[in-house]
Amino acid sequence: MLTVTDALSPNFDQRRGPPDMVLLHYTGMQTAEAAVARLRDPEAQVSAHYVVDEDGGVLRLVPEERRAWHAGQSWWKGETDINAVSIGIEIVNPGHEFGYRDFPESQIASVITLLNEIRARWSIEDARILGHSDVAPSRKQDPGERFPWRALAAYRHGLWFEPAAERIAALGPPLGPGDTGLGVHVLQAGLHRLGYEPLPDGKYTEETRITVEAFQRHWRPSRVDGIADGETRATLMGILQLATAESVTGVLN
């Protein structure tokens, strides 16, 4: 059982229904204290449901039944009001601007326990445990490539897939900015089917590059460059298969 301390924020309003997504952020500020102060400042008009400190301590800022203001302008599978459907967890880390660093084991252990408890209360699929950069790739990088998504998936929170070498090789040369054609169209269609916004048009635009980079931050963090190499595309295919299987299982159950 996780010990959670209340430090309630005034920055929330009513939900329109139960949450079915968890959105993970990093705080992106120099100290935890500064982040919590901002999330509780009525003039800032931002908040989250929880803050997880580097020592593993957890603050509750907004009750899960209420709509916290953490996602901003965002999009996932056609949903534009991510705040209305999600539970937001801010994870203390200075982020890319102030000295991005690894997330301590004690902190991740608390995130995993918190996810255990949240998912015991709400129906949330693995495919809907996402990062801020997934739903707002043109604006956000958090929780970033250092966040251990693979470790969460090992505890059955989120999706993870590592393609075999032969599957990677079979996909041919990388795709990148300026490329056009069927391969780009298939890539864009896969990203859109997973949940990202851009519609397939067969042109590797800057928007496509940014979306590929967001996918890599979450599911292929070893190299985040916006280039859809074979590993990136094979990983996307695998994640899509896992998400589809989960969705079908949910319907059958």
Query: CA 194 to CA 173: how far, in whole Å?
Result: 22
Strand order across the 50-52 sheet: 4-6, 58-60, 50-52, 86-91, 21-26, 129-131
- Say if residues 66 and 87 touch (Cβ distance below 8 Å): no
Catalytic residue among 90, 145, 197, 213: 90
Query: CA 153 to CA 160: how far, in whole Å?
Result: 6
Closest CA to 135 of 185, 204, 85: 85
Query: CA 140 to CA 130: how far, in whole Å?
Result: 13
**90 carries an active-site annotation:** yes
Annotated catalytic residues are 90
